[in-house]
Amino acid sequence: MRQLSRDAGVTLYSTLLASFQVLLHQVSGGSDVLVGADVAGREQPELERLIGFFVNVLPLRSQFEAGTPFATFLAQTQETLLSAMEHQDLPFDMIVDASGVPRHKGMNPLVQVLFVMNNLPGRTQAMGGLSVEALPALDTHSKFDMALFVDDEDGQLLGNWQFATSVFGHERIQHLAKAWIALLEQIVADQDIQLGAISMPVDTLAVAAKPAAPGPKADKLGKFLKRAAAPAGKARPAPVRESLIAEPQPFPLLLEPNEPHLDLIGWINNNRPLIEAKLATHAGILFRGFELDGIQGFEAFAEAIQPGLYGQYGDLPKKEGGKNTYRSTPYPERKMILFHNESSHQDRWPRKQMFYCEQAAPVGGATPVVDCRLMYEKLPADLRDTFEERACSTCAPSPTTSMCRGSTSSRRKTAPKSRPAAGPVVSNGAGSTTTNCKPVLQGRRSFVTR
């Protein structure tokens, strides 16, 4: 690769970028591709001594024609890259705005794939008699659908693929890595090879997923089976079973899968009215035993339960790897958080709270969750009468509850929070109250603290 770059009069970075672009053209079948490239954003001398994040993303466009030699494509890539570098101070957001590309929640605008070649110093250094070594992150989150980071270490090129597991599976990325290596071997052997002549390994995943076209005999057999369908046998069990944890108490409802590898997100999308009805009856639902892929899977779950998550909770730090998920309340390990209504300190109280047990505690770790309607019913009658006399009232379920009459209500929802629980939990908020405020909406009575 280095010799090819020297012969072509380009940098190794340009060669790797061009080969990666060809890979994307080949596997996607698209003739027009945009790849993002990181730049340090420290062109001004005044920024050299500042600590901060100045990285900018440059969208690099490439166009594919089967008859173009790779050498020509490589020269075009170098020219595009140099031209983009001349304008690297232009913020990426301004490029997006100028291009008029619509923005979609959960997706980066304009660029979904990133290519980066790191030129940082070696990872192992020593200072003052101390040996310093960078350790790999325990948990990583891909900000793009896919990103390829290439490190040049000790004369070897090391590739690190990061990808959104909601878009790509591990097998797919392994296939892309194998295809990229095969492509590099072909252009090293012949840099004038035409782009359309570059062969790619057979995508066994796509072949396995593609159904075979039925032949005449299979079609006749299908018609015969339709005509002579046997009487229905034993009914197929429902994909999800439900039970009560503290029967006969209705709160909470427990949902568990009847089928291995059940697509929970798909099931929720098809059964959202049922979930809403169950929440109204049981106040909280515990989803146990379902497969969720970390925080990203939990956010997809939460978005399916309540599309349009609200991501401005503000009090707690966000969870690494999540976009609208917050870490649990930092609290002394040996202390117990007193009973309180989640988010009730805000002027708007979202009506749904979602919690996710990322890692079960080896000892203890229980988080009590209470149906505040039942708690109100257990209060002494004279205390309930006092609340009624002071015009404290609960509100009927709604996306958000305003604390006083006259407040403006917006349709914002809460973000899910990473909290200790036995699995994903959806809780229907009980309502919000305030002293000397008239009821906004009447609903079932509930006890709420602020």
pLDDT digits (tens, 9 = 90+) for 172-193: 999 999 999 999 999 999 999 9
Among the listed residues 204, 206, 203, 274, the one whose alpha carbon sits nearest the alpha carbon of residue 240? 274
For 41, counting Cβ atoms within 10 Å of its Cβ (0-12 exposed, 13-18 middle, 19+ buried), the class is middle
* In contact, 271 and 241? CB cutoff 8 Å: no
Q: Is the dihedral of CA 125, 131, 132, 137 positive or negative?
A: positive
Nearest 10 degrees: Cα torsion 201, 204, 210, 213:
80
Q: What is the pLDDT of residue 323?
A: 65
Q: How confident is the model at residue 202 (pLDDT cuts 50, 70, 90)?
A: low
The fourth-level CATH superfamily of domain 2-122+138-209 is Nonribosomal peptide synthetase, condensation domain (3.30.559.30)
Q: What is the pLDDT of residue 359?
A: 73
Q: What is the pLDDT of residue 122?
A: 56
Q: How confident is the model at residue 354 (pLDDT cuts 50, 70, 90)?
A: confident
% of the chain surpassing 70 pLDDT: 69
Q: What is the pTM of this model?
A: 0.49
Q: How confident is the model at residue 125 (pLDDT cuts 50, 70, 90)?
A: low
Beta bridge partners of 37: 58, 115
Q: What is the pLDDT of residue 319?
A: 64
Q: What is the mean pLDDT of residues 386-411?
A: 46
Q: What is the pLDDT of residue 77?
A: 95
In what side-by-side order are the strands of the sheet with 113-118? 56-63, 32-39, 113-118, 146-153, 156-163
Whether omega for the bond prior to residue 248 falls within 30 degrees of 0, making it cis, is yes
Q: How far apart are the first and last CA of the chain?
A: 64
User: What are the structural domain ranges in the chain?
Assistant: 2-122+138-209, 240-428
Q: What is the pLDDT of residue 51?
A: 81
Tell me the C-alpha distance between 412 and 310, whole Å.
Answer: 6
Mean of pLDDT over the chain: 75
Q: How confident is the model at residue 230 (pLDDT cuts 50, 70, 90)?
A: very low
pLDDT at 322 over 50: yes
Q: What is the pLDDT of residue 22?
A: 95
* Phi and psi, residue 427, nearest 5°: -120, 130
Give the count of beta carbons closer than 10 Å to the beta carbon of residue 325. Answer: 25
Tell me the C-alpha distance between 6 and 275, whole Å.
Answer: 62
Highest mean pLDDT pick, 73-82, 207-216, 252-261, 266-275:
73-82
